[in-house]
Structure 1
């Protein structure tokens, strides 16, 4: 991994992206989005995760995160990815309605077999591309990028319309899915 993309200062906020292997559109199904959201909530409550912004797209997730506990941020990221991978696989295997089951298991299995860090399956790409948000300008650009993602993709006309995004939090709307720490 490039030394350019590492979490160096545990007390800073970071823009990170979690991407599904082969950019597979896993998050077109609500059940997978909800598994990820529950993992974020757990980490907020139990692992000191500061969630400042998020957007779940069909194949990737953007976050602005920090920490307020003793656990290293990269360890929290590892735990989120590990837990959600296990839960996604359980859901894929056990779901009577997942029409893409053979496709998903084949591709996640293939990705796992070619990666020496895995035993059988890999769902997430390994890199997170953490970018330290050390200036107000950089922070605002990343926040805008996250919230504009579904608009640019043509999914919604305004960021606040997208359910799986913190844009509702920043707009002060009541129907948000998870609490975030608003960035000034």
Structure 2
């Protein structure tokens, strides 16, 4: 019996802020190590810079990630390729984690290795598929999304208020852009032209 695979229709509009969510394999609590979180932040930073996006807001949770991104260079008639951006974030990070698990002889390596087909093992840090995305076209929806993203660690019971969670852009916003943590990806905030 073929496994059901959810089909996600993606809408890539040039002037929109995009809310992206992607999860760990089988929703496992894998993002608990600070060294892995720092590696993921580096991967996000490189991909955002190389693919010409602004990082508006983010949060790293233990089993998923939320990003708000805004494309800065889209040619007329073209749409931003969010799949390329996500691949540029997830693939290098996953490769580095796999190498660490091999070096550590960690049993987690076996747990995250699946058979794609007979005789073809594959390492899976991230859940397969497109994840979730939506376009934010109004200031109200954008601000609501930022609040929702920043409140994730509070809802999960990890902290009492959003700014206490290191692995998000909440402190940057709460401090009016004064708190810049070098271990986090560069936060650009919302460009003034986002909603005209």
Does residue 153 of the first structure (1) align with residue 132 of the second (2)? no
Higher percent of residues as strand: 2
TM-score, length of structure 2 as denominator length: 0.79
Give the superposition deviation at 1:13.
1.3
Distance 1:182 1:154, change over 3 A: same
Asked which structure has the greater CA Rg, the reply is: 2
Q: Counterpart of 1:174? A: 179
Q: Distance in 1 between matches of 2:160 and 2:124?
A: 34
Q: Does the aligned pair in 2 maintain the 1:52–1:65 contact within 8 Å?
A: yes
Q: CA RMSD in A?
A: 2.3
TM-score, length of structure 1 as denominator length: 0.84
Does residue 76 of the first structure (1) align with residue 85 of the second (2)? yes
Q: Distance in 1 between matches of 2:186 and 2:90?
A: 20
Q: Does the aligned pair in 2 maintain the 1:49–1:68 contact within 8 Å?
A: yes
Give the superposition deviation at 1:3.
4.4
Higher percent of residues as helix: 1
Does residue 129 of the first structure (1) align with residue 132 of the second (2)? yes
1:18 is paired with a residue of what secondary structure?
strand
The Cα offsets for residues 15-70 of structure 1, whole Å up to 9 and x where unpaired, read as 11120011111111111101110011212332212111111111111111122235
1:28 is paired with a residue of what secondary structure?
coil
Which residues of 2 match residues 92-171 of structure 1 at below 5 A? 92-95=101-104, 101-102=106-107, 104-110=108-114, 113-114=115-116, 120-125=122-127, 126-171=129-174
Q: Distance in 1 between matches of 2:113 and 2:103?
A: 16
2:35 is paired with a residue of what secondary structure?
helix
1:120 is paired with a residue of what secondary structure?
strand
2:123 is paired with a residue of what secondary structure?
coil
Greater RCO (CA < 8 Å, at least 6 residues apart): 2
Distance 1:19 1:115, change over 3 A: farther
Tell me the matched-pair count.
Answer: 175
